[in-house]
Chain A
Amino acid sequence: MTMAKPKYELILLKNMLQPGYTGSLADYERAGGYQALRKILGKVAPAEVTAMVTKSGLRGRGGAGFPAGIKWGFLPKDYQGPKYLCCNADESEPGTFKDRQLMERDPHQVLEGIAIACYAIGAETAYIYIRGEFVLGAKILEKAIAEARAAGYLGKNVLGAGVTIDVWVHRGAGAYICGEETALLESLEGKRGLPRVKPPFPATAGLYGKPTVINNVETLANLPHIITRGPEWFASIGSPPKSTGMRIFCVSGHVKRPGNYEVPMGITCRDLIFEHAGGMRSDKPLKAIIPGGASASFFTPEHLDVKLDFESVAQAGSMLGSGGVTVMEEGTSMVWAALRLMEFFHHESCGKCSPCREGSSWLVQTLRRIVNKRGRMQDLETLTDLCQNIAGRTVCAFGDAEVAPILSTLKYWRHEYEELIRTAEANGSSELLMPAAARH
């Protein structure tokens, strides 16, 4: 299956779609690579670079959508000691597989972005925290780093401008939570990946307690283009002023052509699914959409005309998150889908906060009971109650994430839950509140 001719001028996937493009340094340079770094190093003041990024409106592509330039601006101004940049390449949100493509197919685009960010924030060291399973991605990055060092784009005295930018690849080892920025820092420090209480924010006390910026791979890959073509150009793409630029959506599920599609922010769900991803894979109609990774609330066919930008998706009750769009056809059980996601969250709960640690286990047990036709009507109340006692009561946003699939499926497909439970009641297979032997 190959890519149809794109409808828009691509930014991030442009190089890699050229026939023969291998992602080598030579290929990247031929495509205009490292010109942005040349343009700024020793010529444009770091604060100016940050101002450009702020002006571009670039918002984080990792999940939270925080404006990148503003985040950089939070670093202490007169601080002389070491600062760090961490490139978040953990890509662990189910439904998301774009960073893998960016790193494996055009690694220098990511490295140039890292170098630009390091220069802007005054960091001499950057760590790429890549999920452990991406063995190939880590190898490709390491090779690219060696090439870039040899060519003077990284290392000591980059491009003769007296700036040091050392980049290291650091592999995670299988833990979703290490994509959360403070858990990432803990993991990078050689510890269990338990999120930190904020404040202090990483901008003031991050890696090794030093000022640190954490940015997603895709966020960083946008930087060379913003520098080369100007923040105004970038800010004119997508849904300005709040959702600028292109976005790589990772489409999965029951569509004809799943895959990564780079489109301007603000195209509709319908456009993405039916134009780009080829529509439904069979004649079964669309039933549900997850618009922004496993942590995002479900959408229904009613939401097909929602624009995929930060504001519109939030207004419609979900989030754009990581850009993972999952499509489900009629016939998919929404209770089963919620259970699958909940099993993921239960498995990945780091165990630090009791509402999430215990609650995720109870949620899985309750959902499993319902799916297995052993549920009872009170279970619906229990689910809601548990969700309400997890969301907002944890150190990190994992707690809010894990309840979204359940609360949204309960909202739109409550009848499916009820049907399963009614079957259980009719069969007499509802689990009793206590084992029979314990009741008197």
Chain B
Amino acid sequence: MLREKYKAEIDEILSRYPLRRSALLPLLYLAQKEEGYVTEAAMKEIASILKITPPQVYETVTFYTMLNLRPVGKFHIQVCKSLMCALVGSDTLLGWLEVRLGIKPGNTTKDGLFTLSKVECLAACGTGPMMQINDDYYERLTEEKVDRILADLKRDGTSSLKSGPFMWPERTDG
């Protein structure tokens, strides 16, 4: 139950808004962090916390692409396929990933490690081709970089190739 585990956090979130329902997205994120996706039980609990109905929660969840109603792999790879990235090779990037992972977009590898998705513009259009993996951006991707990232993730659960605070072009001292 979210309420028991995250009481202080939930109270703090609720305190930011004059109307409880505004806390819906933040609470859904909390639920998704907990289980990896938004479960039916979580939706019911959130409805009761916010004093709205479960269908009101469900209709909101289904509107937003970042909320998962089904489990995804440990690493959710989202490749931007919108025009600006496509101009600089996002289809090729997707191809590399399909081969490396042995899956098509929309699927998860058998070991449950990677889910591959195609997504629309992630506001990194000047540093494409790019992908987001869980919370992190990876930009200006090349085949070698992709291999390193996948190996890093498998080995360490994280990769030093992820983007830091964004600036492009970079300044002279890096």
Contact = CB atoms under 8 A, between A and B. Distances in A.
Interface of B: 16-19, 21-26, 28-29, 50, 52, 59-60, 63-67, 81-84, 86-88, 119-128, 132, 135-137, 163-173
Interface stretch (A49-57, A87-95, A361-369): A87-95
Interface in A96-141: 96-97, 99-101, 104-105, 131-136, 140
Given A173-B64, A173-B66, A260 B126 contact: yes
A66 interface: no
A252 B120 contact: no
Nearest to B80: A94
A187 interface: yes
B169 A1 contact: yes
Contact of A105 (B17, B137, B165, B169): B165
A1 B140 CA distance: 11
Contacts of A101: 166-168
A256 to B, nearest CB: 11
Residue among B86, B87, B172 with most chain A CB within 10 A: B87
B56 to A, nearest CB: 8
B168 A258 contact: yes
Contact of B169 (A168, A170, A252, A257): A257
28 contacts: A1-B168, A2-B169, A17-B171, A94-B84, A94-B120, A100-B166, A105-B166, A131-B123, A133-B123, A133-B132, A134-B123, A140-B165, A168-B16, A173-B65, A174-B67, A188-B22, A190-B24, A190-B25, A190-B50, A258-B125, A258-B168, A260-B126, A260-B167, A260-B169, A294-B83, A324-B84, A324-B125, A344-B120
A95 B87 CA distance: 11
B87 A332 contact: yes
Contacts of B28: 173
Given A136-B135, A260-B168, A192 B60 contact: yes
A172 B18 contact: no
A191 B168 contact: no
B130 to A, nearest CB: 10
A221 to B, nearest CB: 15
A230 interface: no
Contact of B128 (A168, A176, A252): A252
Interface in A32-71: none
Nearest to B121: A94
A17 B169 CA distance: 10
A87 to B, nearest CB: 14
B24 to A, nearest CB: 3
A216 interface: no
Interface string A278-296: 0000000000000000100
A168 B87 CA distance: 36
Contacts of B172: 2-3, 19
A2 B170 contact: yes
Nearest to B50: A190
Given A17-B171, A101-B166, A136-B165, A96 B125 contact: yes
Contacts of B82: 94, 294, 340-341, 344
A23 B167 CA distance: 12
Interface in A394-418: none
B55 to A, nearest CB: 12
Contacts of A224: none
A3 B18 contact: no
B83 A192 contact: no
B21 A189 contact: yes
Nearest to B78: A133
Contacts of B52: 190
A1 B120 CA distance: 26
A1 B170 contact: yes
A17 B21 CA distance: 41
Given A94-B82, A191-B60, A344-B83, A326 B169 contact: no
Contacts of B137: 133, 136
Contact of A19 (B17, B81, B171): B171
Given A97-B126, A190-B25, A328-B87, 20 more contacts: A2-B172, A3-B171, A91-B123, A95-B83, A101-B168, A105-B165, A171-B26, A173-B65, A187-B25, A189-B19, A192-B63, A193-B63, A208-B19, A252-B88, A254-B88, A258-B125, A258-B168, A259-B127, A326-B84, A337-B83
Nearest to B87: A253
The 10 closest A-B pairs by CB, nearest first: A190-B24, A173-B64, A174-B65, A174-B66, A190-B21, A258-B126, A94-B121, A104-B165, A135-B135, A192-B63
A17 B82 CA distance: 29
Interface string A341-357: 10110011010000000
A95 B125 contact: yes
A382 B82 CA distance: 24
A170 B13 CA distance: 10
B87 A191 contact: no
Nearest to B63: A192
Contacts of B121: 92-95, 176, 294, 344
Given A136-B165, A174-B64, A189-B19, A252 B123 contact: no
